[in-house]
């Protein structure tokens, strides 16, 4: 049986993070733990050893621009210890658009120095700019997390070779369902975005990842959940072994 994969998870946002870390390893769920600043990544790997099932990404969340300084030296120092980068990207929604230019400067820099890294990318109301920066820098292992853009940009991101990680909240929205149905199976990942999503009306916990897989399988017309698990595991191997 193929293992479950969670391609976007915030371990440091759980108050019982030690318990969660141990459970992920016990359940053998491959989990990409994103961080919102390189200093947080540093704290995570000081507390927890990366394992076969828990990997940490060094990140800088675009919503942090204007709140905390982006330290290039800190990002570069930590980048050498991981093949994962995230959460990074652009957010031009109303609350954050004022820092649009600074966001693009930072994201462009991160993409430039992360060409061979597995990237989990935040993209909100910024499809054109995310596309342009990824294409310019030639990033190879790029995953759009919780994509919410239109069909035109979805198709362009697919042509660019992007993967997409989808979650339970997307399944609960009309636009999310339409997006999920258009993603090629060989570009699909499941994410929890825990603890920021709900499954069956309740806050996500790691024992609910299999439910998300079942919901996605049902939505896209796959009768056997094992078939979906095998495909997603194959996608995962294509990234980590390339």
For the segment 47-60, what is each residue's pLDDT rounded down to a tens digit? Answer: 999 999 999 999 99
Does 87 show up as a binding residue in the annotation? yes
Please state the CATH superfamily assignment of the domain spanning residues 5-240 in this structure: Metal-dependent hydrolases (3.20.20.140)
pLDDT of 151 over the 80 cut = yes
* C-alpha–C-alpha distance, residues 195 and 173, integer Å: 18
Tens digits of residue pLDDT in 222-235: 998 999 999 999 99
* C-alpha–C-alpha distance, residues 229 and 30, integer Å: 12
Does 10 show up as a binding residue in the annotation? yes
Beta strand pairing status for 202-203 and 198-199? antiparallel
Q: Do the Cβ atoms of 90 and 103 come closer than 8 Å?
A: yes
- Mean pLDDT, rounded, of the chain: 96
Q: Which pLDDT score is estimated for 242?
A: 75
Domain ranges across the chain: 5-240
pLDDT of 118 over the 80 cut = yes
Residue 213: name the closest of 177, 170, 167, 169 by CA. 167
pLDDT-derived band at 2 (thresholds 50, 70, 90) equals confident
DSSP characters for 98-116? GGHHHHHHHHHHHHHH-TT
pLDDT of 1 over the 80 cut = no
Does 122 show up as a binding residue in the annotation? yes
Residue 177: name the closest of 220, 232, 122 by CA. 220
Q: Do the Cβ atoms of 190 and 211 come closer than 8 Å?
A: no
pLDDT-derived band at 89 (thresholds 50, 70, 90) equals very high
pLDDT-derived band at 92 (thresholds 50, 70, 90) equals very high
Q: Do the Cβ atoms of 61 and 87 come closer than 8 Å?
A: yes
């Amino acid at each position: 049986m193929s293992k479950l994969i969670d391609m976007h998870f915030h371990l440091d946002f759980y108050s019982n993070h030690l318990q969660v870390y141990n459970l992920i390893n016990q359940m053998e769920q491959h989990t990409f733990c994103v961080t919102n600043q390189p200093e947080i990544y540093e704290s995570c790997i000081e507390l927890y050893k990366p394992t076969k099932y828990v990997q940490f990404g060094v990140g800088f969340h675009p919503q942090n621009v204007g709140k905390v300084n982006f330290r290039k030296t800190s990002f570069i120092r930590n980048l050498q210890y991981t093949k994962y980068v995230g959460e990074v990207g652009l957010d031009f929604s109303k609350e954050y658009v004022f820092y649009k230019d600074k966001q693009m400067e930072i994201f462009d820099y991160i993409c430039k120095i992360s060409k061979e890294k597995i990237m989990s990318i935040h993209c909100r109301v910024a499809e054109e700019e995310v596309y342009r920066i990824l294409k310019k820098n030639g990033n190879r292992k790029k995953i759009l997390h919780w994509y919410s853009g239109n069909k035109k940009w979805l198709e362009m991101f697919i042509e660019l070779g992007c993967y997409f990680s989808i979650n339970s909240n997307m399944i609960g929205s009309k636009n999310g369902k339409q997006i999920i149905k258009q993603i090629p199976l060989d570009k699909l990942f499941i994410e929890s975005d825990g603890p920021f999503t709900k499954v069956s009306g309740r806050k996500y916990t790691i024992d609910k990842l299999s439910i998300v897989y079942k919901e996605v399988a049902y939505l896209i017309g796959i009768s056997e959940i094992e078939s979906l698990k095998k495909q997603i595991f194959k996608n995962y191997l294509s990234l980590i072994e390339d």
